Amino acid sequence: MKAYVLGEFEREEALLEATRELRGRIQGTLDLHSPYPLHGSDEALGLPRSKVPLVALVAGVTGAAGGYLMQWYLSAAAWPLNVGNRPPHSAPAFIPVTFELGILFASLAIFIGLLGGFFGFPRLHHPVFEVEAFRSASIDGLWLSAEVEGKDAEPVAAELRRLGARHVAIVPEAQR
């Protein structure tokens, strides 16, 4: 059974310091929770580079290529219609829609990809919300959470207290 160990830190530096120290020592997943992005949290958690730009690039190129192909197919292949004696396949006239569809696909991919893929949302309930004091994580609190095996929870909580955390709490996952 998994458990979450939570602790609140007073200062940004103390939080990042504690993260660096715990990361190598405990078995489990560390995470930080803060009302605004913290400088240095990626490095402290040892996160790899984000794949969001790749998702955006692939979707944008797909949207633009698909947009151009659609216009070519509809105007020049499926039903060529003579309008003002312009060529059925007229590349300059296809640029606006191609561009817009590229942007549209990239933006949708970023938004849906972030929420559904990278964040795993919607997830309205999460064990960290069990702790009432955790409400401060979106207001002014700096929290550290560790997802560990149930038997490791107590030692990790003790570590957190030693590193200066307040409101240290253990949430067993079964509680959800």
3-state secondary structure of 142: strand
Q: How far is the CB of 87 from another protein (least distance, A)?
A: 9
Give the one residue of 3, 18, 64, 94 binding another protein; rule: CB under 8 A.
94
Give the one residue of 1, 25, 125, 151 binding another protein; rule: CB under 8 A.
125
Binding region for another protein (CB under 8 A) out of 20-28, 111-119, 157-165, 166-174: 111-119
Instruction: Pick between residue 49 and residue 151 the one whose CB is nearest to another protein.
Output: 49
Torsion of CA 154, 155, 160, 166, to 10 degrees: 30
Q: Which of 113, 103, 112 is nearest to 52 (CA)?
A: 113
Q: What are phi and psi of 2, to 5 degrees?
A: -85, 160
Instruction: Note every long-range contact of 91-96, with CB atoms under 8 Å and residues 24 or more positions apart, other chains counting.
Output: 94/68
Helix (H) or strand (E) holding 168: strand 166-172
- 106 lies in the site for another protein, by CB under 8 A: yes
- 85 lies in the site for another protein, by CB under 8 A: no
Give the one residue of 62, 114, 130, 170 binding another protein; rule: CB under 8 A.
114
Q: Respond yes or no on whether the N-terminal peptide bond of residue 122 is cis (omega within 30° of 0).
A: yes
Contacting residues toward another protein, per CB under 8 A:
31-39, 41-42, 45, 47, 50, 52-53, 56, 60, 70-71, 74-75, 78-79, 81, 83-84, 86, 90, 93-94, 96-97, 99-101, 103-104, 106-108, 110-111, 113-115, 118-119, 121-126, 128-129, 135-140, 143
